[in-house]
A and B are shown apart, each in its own frame.
Chain A
Amino acid sequence: MLDRLGTSLKDALKKLAGKTVVDRAAVEELVKDLQRALIQADVNVRMVMALSQSIKARSLDEQPPKGMTVREHVLRIVYQELVKLVGSTGEAKLEPQVILMAGLQGSGKTTTTAKLARYFQRKGMRVGVICADTFRPGAFDQLNTLCMRINVPVFGNPDAKDALKIVREGLSSMSGNEVVIIDTQGRHALEGELIQEIIDIQKIASARHRWLVIDAALGQQAAEQARRFHDAINIDGVIITKMDGTAKGGGALSAVAETASGIVFIGSGETIDDLERFDPDGFISRLLGMGDLKALVERAEETMAGREVDVNAMLRGKFSLRDMYQQLEAVNRMGPLKQIMSMLPLGNMEIPQDAYDVTSTKMQRYRIIMDSMTDPELDDPSVMGSSRIHRIALGAGASPEEVRELLRYYKMMKKALKGVRGGQGKLNMQRMMKKFSGGM
């Protein structure tokens, strides 16, 4: 569905190519396609209308700067307006602080609390967590289990009923930690008592940050909810969760607008490391259904300590079995292949579905098989003949058929990555936009 949107945006841009004056009809068509894309991404309808009005007006009124084609001129305006819509990255300094989490039921506060603890811990801070959710059964167990895995202390009591008391006691018991995160019960704006409760919690905690957790799938309701949370505890940052689904997170933009804050983090997976700092360029790319290389490279650098998988070498087309081995090894830390691939600027190129369907057990088998290969074989799989395959199979306790299957998988991956290469190199949103119009 969204791929089709990308294409129709492209088609609209194509109409602007080669024009010497800005064509009203073409701009209108472009704006209309943009509107559809943004509305499907759950961006607030009023905001979309305002945005398209201003794109239209600016495209038609402003003179293109010298040396800039009409297409580039319009694209620049579209990009600038989108950046304005998305807003800047919310502040998250590495300093002693108390963070209060707020949000609707089921938006992912507890999971995000654990992920945040992990984030600050990885940056070298001492972190403690307070579970102030005294309502939902299992909330304390959930937070405790998640935090135990990363050795972060949790304060809470599954049998207590008074959230304020827990926060008060928790703050004093956690005072030895630099960062204290308070997880709260899910609540929505119409639940007056619960809103009062979070106001009281904030009075006790005087949290440095009050972050609103928003589900990427939240629709037009986001603005209203955010406004009332803002009225209550003065929200100063938004976290979007569940960005690993197909939702685009446009609803969160209305929350940003209502609270005059910025998006701080993006949650995009079920493991504790699946939390990224917000990157406006990348977000825009996903909003419009395009890939984002920048986030991938950054993430790869952090998780891999910059060594194991050389993304740039992969994109230059140097992809050996050795790279694939490292990639398989890294998969556990980086998340499923599909998620990695979705961050690559693949444009319209389709990765065969089979490439994703390799299960983790199979990945395990592949690694064992590759352990039986020699260095020359890993560097250059083309030397592999039937006798080598036989030897590898024996060594790995696998059948020759399995080894061949692995080689087929390798070829498929290599081919897919070749498509990615396409001469783009590192690209940001501007370049992508340029390419997007230049390649036609």
Chain B
Amino acid sequence: MFEGLRARLQKVQGTLEKNIAGAASPQGSDASSVESPDTESGKDPSFLTRVKVLIADREFLISEKDIEEPLFELEMILLENDVALPVADEILRRVKAELTGKRRRIGESVDEIVISALRESLMGVLGQGFDLIGFIKSHDHPVKILFTGVNGTGKTTTVAKVASYLKKNGCTTVIGAGDTFRAGALEQIDVHAGRLGIKVIQHQAGADPSAVLFDAVQYAQAHRIDAVLADTAGRFHNRANLMNQLEKIRRVMKPDLVVYVDEAVAGNDAVVRAYEFEKTVGADAVILTKADMDSKGGAAISIAHTIGKPVMFLGTGQGYDDIIPFSPERVVGELLGDGA
């Protein structure tokens, strides 16, 4: 999903390199004319430092001005790729801090400096991936996993996909049909589970989701099942009552893992709602759905940065197998067009 972003990033990388390389050469000629520094230039401390640096180590300083224009371009690219504004600002700040005042040794490739600065800041933002199988193996069974998120992000489909993924990896699961509100939700999860051959615990429509999920946990304990996947109704983070209900669910079923589901095509709002969900019910990992929609991938960066939690899976289509574990190293590597 990151193709667009990658192409643009590589372009900006080129500009950055050109500017830094360009900035270095006039300094070089400057320096040769003042090979023996006189007292006049000595009054300007920054100039003196430059000269000293030049003479001592044969290095160049990268100044803020050299990279201003390409950084603006970088910001535009991030924004166009759905990285939320505050997050884009933060990434820029990091790249800038990484680059300015940095001494470049003659012969060291500009390329490397720029790539490593970008990689640093992107890796810093994306954090580590999340190994679900490892998590389930290392915890007491049943491992209780609660799925949350706003309406229409694909929670129910994701629950089915995760169930299928776990089944393939040798874990048994039971699904708790906690979406008792939306019309058709129970039928939807029923069909999915039927196709996958997985047990669903459900009550009638309109039932208390906490009770349903509690029963699901009981069932899993009685039948020695590895993991409980708890689906919930979509809800907006600005609805106090619905968020309280989710809080109650959390209290009652005591999940080992709260998974926040959002869509990869979301824009700036991704930051606001991820923050609110994290604040009220917590989130241990993130699943991004609809990553196959030619999406720009910025939402991954935004959400990961806002709540500081790892992205676990990407949903990439309508089939049960369309789910792939998220690996930050690979994504960043792909973005910057190298083996990372």
Whether B136 is near chain A, meaning CB under 8 Å from some CB there, is no
> Residue B290 contacts which of A40, A41, A188, A356 (CB distance < 8 angstroms)?
A188
Instruction: Report yes or no: B265 in contact with A221, Cβ–Cβ below 8 A.
Output: yes
Bound state CA distance, A353 and B244, in angstroms? 14
The A-contacting residues of B in range 186-210, CB under 8 angstroms, are 186-192
Instruction: Report yes or no: B184 in contact with A104, Cβ–Cβ below 8 A.
Output: no
Whether B34 is near chain A, meaning CB under 8 Å from some CB there, is no
Contact flag A221-B293 (CB < 8 Å), given A104-B265, A137-B190:
yes
Instruction: Report yes or no: B266 in contact with A217, Cβ–Cβ below 8 A.
Output: yes
Instruction: Report yes or no: B187 in contact with A338, Cβ–Cβ below 8 A.
Output: no
The A-contacting residues of B in range 266-291, CB under 8 angstroms, are 266-270, 272-273, 276, 289-290
Bound state CA distance, A108 and B263, in angstroms? 14
Instruction: Report yes or no: B270 in contact with A217, Cβ–Cβ below 8 A.
Output: yes
Chain B residues contacting A138 (CB-CB under 8 Å) are 184-191
Instruction: Report yes or no: A246 in contact with B190, Cβ–Cβ below 8 A.
Output: no
Residue of A108, A146, A188, A246 with most chain B CB atoms under a 10 A cut-off: A246
The A-contacting residues of B in range 152-208, CB under 8 angstroms, are 152-154, 181-192
Instruction: Report yes or no: A219 in contact with B187, Cβ–Cβ below 8 A.
Output: no
- As a 0/1 sequence over residues 137 to 159 of chain A, the CB contacts with chain B under 8 angstroms (1 = contact) are 11111111110000000000010
Whether B327 is near chain A, meaning CB under 8 Å from some CB there, is no
B: number of interface residues (CB 8 Å): 51
> Residue A105 contacts which of B154, B237, B268, B269 (CB distance < 8 angstroms)?
B154
Contact flag A218-B265 (CB < 8 Å), given A137-B188, A245-B237:
yes
Contact flag A142-B237 (CB < 8 Å), given A190-B294, A221-B265:
no
Instruction: Report yes or no: A139 in contact with B184, Cβ–Cβ below 8 A.
Output: yes
A39 CB to nearest chain B CB (Å): 5
Bound state CA distance, A242 and B298, in angstroms? 21
Instruction: Report yes or no: B267 in contact with A36, Cβ–Cβ below 8 A.
Output: no
Whether B334 is near chain A, meaning CB under 8 Å from some CB there, is no
Chain B residues contacting A173 (CB-CB under 8 Å) are none
A42 and chain B: residue at smallest CB distance: B267
Whether A106 is near chain B, meaning CB under 8 Å from some CB there, is yes
B289 and chain A: residue at smallest CB distance: A106
A356 CB to nearest chain B CB (Å): 6
Query: Size class of A's contact patch?
Result: 35 or more
Residue of A42, A138, A145, A188 with most chain B CB atoms under a 10 A cut-off: A138
The A-contacting residues of B in range 121-167, CB under 8 angstroms, are 150-154
> Residue A145 contacts which of B184, B241, B294 (CB distance < 8 angstroms)?
B184
Bound state CA distance, A142 and B237, in angstroms? 23
Whether B240 is near chain A, meaning CB under 8 Å from some CB there, is yes
A137 CB to nearest chain B CB (Å): 3
Chain B residues contacting A36 (CB-CB under 8 Å) are 85
Instruction: Report yes or no: B293 in contact with A225, Cβ–Cβ below 8 A.
Output: yes
Bound state CA distance, A360 and B239, in angstroms? 12
Contact flag A106-B185 (CB < 8 Å), given A45-B80, A221-B293, A246-B273:
no
Whether A247 is near chain B, meaning CB under 8 Å from some CB there, is yes
Instruction: Report yes or no: B265 in contact with A146, Cβ–Cβ below 8 A.
Output: no
Instruction: Report yes or no: A104 in contact with B151, Cβ–Cβ below 8 A.
Output: no
Contact flag A188-B81 (CB < 8 Å), given A219-B267, A219-B268, A242-B152:
no
A108 and chain B: residue at smallest CB distance: B152
Whether A237 is near chain B, meaning CB under 8 Å from some CB there, is no
Instruction: Report yes or no: B188 in contact with A190, Cβ–Cβ below 8 A.
Output: no
Bound state CA distance, A190 and B316, in angstroms? 12
Chain A residues contacting B185 (CB-CB under 8 Å) are 138, 142
Chain A residues contacting B84 (CB-CB under 8 Å) are 40
Instruction: Report yes or no: A104 in contact with B290, Cβ–Cβ below 8 A.
Output: yes
Bound state CA distance, A199 and B169, in angstroms? 40
Whether B236 is near chain A, meaning CB under 8 Å from some CB there, is yes
Residue of A1, A39, A40, A137 with most chain B CB atoms under a 10 A cut-off: A137
- As a 0/1 sequence over residues 290 to 321 of chain B, the CB contacts with chain A under 8 angstroms (1 = contact) are 10111110110000000000000000001000
Instruction: Report yes or no: A40 in contact with B266, Cβ–Cβ below 8 A.
Output: no
The B-contacting residues of A in range 215-247, CB under 8 angstroms, are 215-221, 224-225, 241-242, 244-247
Residue of B270, B293, B294 with most chain A CB atoms under a 10 A cut-off: B293
Bound state CA distance, A138 and B186, in angstroms? 7
Instruction: Report yes or no: B295 in contact with A221, Cβ–Cβ below 8 A.
Output: yes
Instruction: Report yes or no: B187 in contact with A359, Cβ–Cβ below 8 A.
Output: no
Chain B residues contacting A190 (CB-CB under 8 Å) are 292-294
Contact flag A338-B238 (CB < 8 Å), given A136-B188, A142-B185:
yes
Chain A residues contacting B237 (CB-CB under 8 Å) are 245-246
Bound state CA distance, A234 and B153, in angstroms? 26
Instruction: Report yes or no: A141 in contact with B184, Cβ–Cβ below 8 A.
Output: yes
Instruction: Report yes or no: B154 in contact with A106, Cβ–Cβ below 8 A.
Output: yes
> Residue B184 contacts which of A142, A218, A221, A251 (CB distance < 8 angstroms)?
A142
Instruction: Report yes or no: B292 in contact with A188, Cβ–Cβ below 8 A.
Output: yes
Instruction: Report yes or no: B269 in contact with A106, Cβ–Cβ below 8 A.
Output: no
Whether B82 is near chain A, meaning CB under 8 Å from some CB there, is yes
Whether A90 is near chain B, meaning CB under 8 Å from some CB there, is no
Which are the 6 A-B pairs with shortest beta-carbon distances? Answer: A219-B267, A142-B184, A138-B188, A137-B191, A106-B152, A42-B267
B interface residues with partner A (beta carbon < 8 Å)? 76, 79-82, 84-86, 150-154, 181-192, 236-241, 263, 265-270, 272-273, 276, 289-290, 292-296, 298-299, 318
Given contacts A270-B151, A336-B239, 16 further A-B contacts (CB under 8 A): A39-B268, A40-B84, A137-B187, A138-B188, A141-B187, A143-B183, A188-B294, A189-B293, A215-B152, A219-B265, A242-B150, A242-B236, A245-B237, A246-B272, A247-B272, A356-B240
A-B contact pairs, 11 of them (CB 8 A): A104-B293, A106-B152, A108-B151, A136-B188, A138-B188, A217-B269, A218-B265, A220-B80, A221-B296, A245-B150, A247-B268
